[in-house]
Structure 1
Amino acid sequence: MEKQEELQQRKLGKGRLLLFPLPFQGHINPMLQLANILHSKGFNITIIHTSFNSPNISSYPHFTFENISEDSPTGCTDLLGNVNNIILLVKLINEVCFDPFRDCVKKLISNSSAEDPIRCLISDALLYFTQAVADLVKLPRIVLRTSSLFSFHVFHSLPLLLQKGYLSMEDSESETPVLEVPPLKIKDVLLTFKNGGEAQSEMLSKIISETKEASGIIWNSFQELEQSILPTIQQEFPIPNFTIGPFHKYFTASASSLLAQDQTALSWLDMQAPLSVLYVSFGSIAAIDKTEFFEMAWGLANSKQKFLWVVRPGVIRGSEWLEPFPAGLLDAVSERGHIVKWAPQQEVLAHPATACFWSHCGWNSTLESICEGVPMICSPSFGDQLTNARYVEAVWKVGLVLENGIKREEITKAIRRVMIDQEGKEMKMRMSCLKEKVNFCLTKGGSSNKSLDSLVSFILTF
């Protein structure tokens, strides 16, 4: 009789989870990866999404999707382009989605059954308004943090940094260490926070306070990578913390791209020698001006190294795509490089020809590079990217930061340091050690594997 009940329970599953991602590429991907992970553990999944940057539903026939399109933000792409506008966009999403999200969740709860109970809501940490909805409908909320533990610690430290006067300093190039949040320097703190102004401070305050009100936090990271900061995070957020990442390593081809991927990137890499190519991509949001673009191009051409360069449409401010290229410069670039609008990044980083990754240092990109053992060149521009880059260089010692912006001489020098010099070989060795730790943490008995088991047991208590 007991065995029959167990079989029936397995057939019914462990209940349903409601997941709500922030509608940006770098946030949708980890949420859908987490959904796949939890689905593999027996949970039914409903993805609630906005019409703005909605996910590709056809790629996930095993999930149920609910669109809150009627009041979702439209025309939001005009707000993208710099840190201030991204902050305004996040603020807008939190404001306009409250009513339709609340109504959607209420409807789902009323339509649920004893055979398929809704266990909890898992929402992106930046969607801070969802805590009020969860409280209203008496549904436990778990926060997904799509960035690193140490970057969240930096955000949590903003009031202290303000009190100490760091954000009032004028020297935006200061190399002086910030003792309160090592290994950041004063210039990192200024770039992380100063451009965001009061709107950013207000938003971060809400994110932090509503995260503390949640039932738990899921991190797309693993214990061995951020062991030193984990006790501090547990003090700052005294709720269950689950480090179950890297999410994308649980399943192959686990990215859900909002942009069409150019598969010629892989066929071009197939023709290159092992460890001979620099991969260049600044993610789905970052933008540069024409001067920086030309400096990048000359730096790449002058390095004399092969490179695969992702030039996303719109990445050059004021241009559609490659039209700013002077003919001579395009010829110089074409001689050694291959340019695409978007690439299948996980496959590119795993390719034997890829030797180095020049990145904006978003957390997904940083994790993916670590998972494949590829050293990095970092050009962070805002938010958690500054912290990620500093950890890549100063803590893990698996890459370097372009300290003086995007200048051709600096670029050429950095590429040669990582791809040719002994320094780069040592970075590669340290990256290979981190890659081994990734592989171990996901195996049975590994830290992420055990944390995932704990998360599943935790959800089943609701």
Structure 2
Amino acid sequence: MSSSSSPAHAVFFPFPAQGHVASALHLAKLLHARGGIRITFVHSERNRRRVLRSRGADALDGVPGFRFAAVPDGLPLDGDSPPGMFPLLVSIRSTVQQFKDVLDEAAAAGEPATCVVSDMDHILLAAREMGLPTVVSWMPSACSLLSNQHFQQLIDRGLVPLKGGADAEQLSNGHLDRTVVDWVPGMPADMRLRDFGPFVRTTDRDDAVLTMSLFFMECIRTVPSAIVLNTFDELDGEVVATLSQLVPPVYTVGPLPQLAAAHVVTGQRSPVDALGASLWPEDGGCLEWLRGKPPRSVLYVNFGSIVVLTREQLVELAWGLAKSGHHFLWVIRDDQAKGNPIDMFPPEFAEETKGRGYVTSWCPQEALLRDEAIGAFLTHCGWNSMLDSICNGIPMLCYPVAADQQTNCRYARTEWRIGVEVDESIEREAVARMVREVMGEEKKGREMRQRAMEWKQKAAMAVAPGGTSWVNLERLISEVFCCSRKDVPHVNA
């Protein structure tokens, strides 16, 4: 491999889901533009084709010092439908040798990697086998990382696996809500087992996803040189302080899209600013539809890139939006609708919401949430979506489904107090009531909007020149990426 004097060259390979890819690309662009670091950004072959379809032939051309590569992942290459989380988790583990080939090709071309950045344990371990330092790009929430670090203790204390055998009685009898987990440092004393998310909702001690998660948490503690968190200190200070005692050095450099935007505003423009990674074609017509709508008059609804709701849930939600009386802009992915989204609903729905609703398959979310017409966000609580909402002062209606979303929902409701939770059943009357509550002018809605605007201001301060995230990015560049390979501090297994 390279000598210690080789120029810094970071090879990124994020987990190939939309939110992970988008956030990692923001980080890579910042390291390139601010630190002059050479970047190779690796997609799965399926995602490479999706980016080309959604953004055009020049989307992956790269710029000097910033190139794209791709490795096969064993998934079907055609179509835009997400494969589901478990198939994705399994298939992506087949990429180790192909990823090593990318590293070998870089070395043969005289541009050897000096660091690997990923959020996949098999990639981190492959890099270590090749003698390379690694950085974890943890793009879910900081609070979810802290909760996940205690999965083994949940097992040791007999809380996981759940009791009830095949019928999983404890999943539905209120056990998850009644069981308080008050012993996790840095987290609320009234955390419930439910707030730890779906990976622990199993009756099988050998559950495949739980086993993968336990292994990854151990890997995070022992392999990387540093961990990058997409958050800011004021939002997650206590969580980050606790994490810093459990894992390698932590750098909070978020919210990444806003930090990237602040970099551009300072006049430090770069050719990489135009690079993007949307896996779906974005409908710009939704921004045109918002034009002229009164401030805070539109509810934005989007459940992200992987979550799938049943047809019954979608219909109940549709009638809840109709009965709320508010304007709404609703993203329903093609794989959910299996055709024209509006065709899912009876003609009466279209008549009831005529002029009040806009339904599309994908949208430019960051730009949309900056529009003053948006008054609230009904979200699955994926971390990118939550940060987009926080950074634009938008309160949330939370419908968590998977991954870190239950933990994020808990923090939005009780710690940051800018969210309410929609019941799992998604009943139309309850949806209508909650939309009116959050969007309306009664006390609860006003207070949530005020707190959301306060968090917006704090996020803006964090990414401004001299702010905590701005300074932490400079530290990350100088302490981790721009030091020589032999000087990077390792945490050995």
TM-score (norm 2): 0.84
CA contact (8 A) 1:76 1:89 kept: no
2:438 matches 1:418: yes
State the SS of the aligned residue for 1:236.
coil
State the SS of the aligned residue for 2:257.
helix
> Match for residue 120 of structure 1?
115
State the SS of the aligned residue for 2:137.
strand
State the SS of the aligned residue for 1:52.
helix
CA distance in 2, matches of 1:196, 1:16: 44
2:294 matches 1:273: yes
Q: Of 205, 216, 224, which aligns to 1:214?
A: 224
CA distance in 2, matches of 1:88, 1:166: 27
- Distance change (3 Å), C-alpha of 1:456 and 1:105: same
State the SS of the aligned residue for 1:97.
helix
Kindly state the Cα deviation for residue 259 of structure 1 after the two structures are TM-superposed. 0.7
CA distance in 1, matches of 2:6, 2:98: 28
How do residues 9-88 of structure 1 correspond to structure 2 at under 5 angstroms?
15-41=8-34, 42-54=36-48, 55-56=51-52, 58-59=58-59, 61-62=62-63, 63-69=66-72, 72-75=73-76, 85-88=84-87
Q: Deviations over 1:390-438 (max 9, x none)?
A: 1100100011111343111111111111111211111111111111111
> Match for residue 111 of structure 1?
109
CA distance in 2, matches of 1:44, 1:229: 32
Kindly state the Cα deviation for residue 382 of structure 1 after the two structures are TM-superposed. 1.1
Number of matched pairs: 439
Which has the higher mean CA deviation after the structures are superposed, 400-409 or 279-288?
Answer: 400-409
Kindly state the Cα deviation for residue 196 of structure 1 after the two structures are TM-superposed. 9.4
2:278 matches 1:257: yes
- Distance change (3 Å), C-alpha of 1:255 and 1:301: farther
Kindly state the Cα deviation for residue 205 of structure 1 after the two structures are TM-superposed. 1.7
Give the residue type in structure 2 aligned to 1:75: P
> Match for residue 3 of structure 1?
none
2:137 matches 1:144: yes
CA distance in 2, matches of 1:448, 1:77: 39
> Match for residue 348 of structure 1?
368
2:197 matches 1:187: no
Give the residue type in structure 1 aligned to 2:194: K
> Match for residue 305 of structure 2?
284
CA distance in 2, matches of 1:268, 1:352: 13
> Match for residue 154 of structure 1?
147
CA distance in 2, matches of 1:320, 1:353: 25
State the SS of the aligned residue for 2:47.
coil
Unmatched segments (≥5 aa) in structure 1: 1-11
CA distance in 2, matches of 1:417, 1:161: 36
State the SS of the aligned residue for 2:154.
helix
> Match for residue 212 of structure 2?
203
> Match for residue 420 of structure 2?
400
> Match for residue 247 of structure 1?
256
State the SS of the aligned residue for 1:218.
strand
Kindly state the Cα deviation for residue 203 of structure 1 after the two structures are TM-superposed. 0.8
CA contact (8 A) 1:392 1:399 kept: yes
CA contact (8 A) 1:112 1:118 kept: no
CA distance in 1, matches of 2:342, 2:335: 10
CA distance in 1, matches of 2:215, 2:372: 44
CA contact (8 A) 1:308 1:338 kept: yes
CA contact (8 A) 2:290 2:373 kept: yes
Unmatched segments (≥5 aa) in structure 2: 164-169, 262-273, 486-493
Kindly state the Cα deviation for residue 187 of structure 1 after the two structures are TM-superposed. 3.2
Give the residue type in structure 2 aligned to 1:231: A
User: RMSD of the TM alignment (CA)?
Assistant: 2.4
2:239 matches 1:229: yes
Q: Deviations over 1:36-72 (max 9, x none)?
A: 1001121121112220212447235322122223xx2
Give the residue type in structure 1 aligned to 2:95: C
2:452 matches 1:449: no
CA contact (8 A) 2:80 2:280 kept: no
2:385 matches 1:368: no
Q: Calculate percent identity across the aligned residue pairs.
A: 30
